[in-house]
Amino acid sequence: MTIDEARELFAYCAWANARVFAAAEALTPEQLSATAASSFPSVRGTLGHIVGAEWIWLRRWRGESLTAAPAWVAESSLSELRGRLATLQAERDEYLARLTDDDLERAVEYRTFSGQAYADPLGSLLRHVVNHSTYHRGQVATQLRQLGATPPGTDLIAYLRLRK
């Protein structure tokens, strides 16, 4: 992977996140917090996890090892989460803008919430975050269907076709 490819993957991730948030904003407050079976109990909970995980990984890439997810992951409203996502994406874009292809091979040392130490190449971690968010956006799509809503398409190929 090159840094240009990584930047494109995160542009895709931002586009897909925006589409899922737009679909969630069409829900009633009751639907947004209603139990919809998946890894997380609600659409809001799953979106909070996506934003929180992307935020945590950016901090890890910058050398921070957090001991827990921030409280705002569980406590924020949908509009607050969207605001945090916008801030995070701007910070991440600045971070990615400074990277070179060589930086993608650099090992990033971090600890998980359980205290387990790891060191992985930055390029692998970048791929992981995009894949992680894609996985959970798929769960949001299932949750939206359970609530009677139509999920948006968020496939990478759809994004790439728009870029042509």
pLDDT by residue, tens only, the chain of 164 residues: 999 999 999 999 999 999 999 999 999 999 999 999 899 999 999 999 999 999 999 999 999 989 899 999 999 999 999 999 999 999 999 999 999 999 999 999 999 999 999 999 999 999 999 999 999 999 999 999 999 999 999 999 999 999 88
Instruction: Sketch the domain layout of the chain as residue ranges.
Output: 3-163
Q: What is the CATH number of domain 3-163?
A: 1.20.120.450
Q: Which two tokens stand for residue 158?
A: 């759809």
End-to-end Cα spacing for the chain: 21
Taking the alpha carbons of 124, 68, 116, 64 in that order, is the dihedral positive or negative? positive
Question: How would you classify residue 48: left for phi > 0, otherwise alpha for psi between -120 and 50, otherwise beta?
Answer: alpha
Whether the pTM exceeds 0.95: the reply is: yes
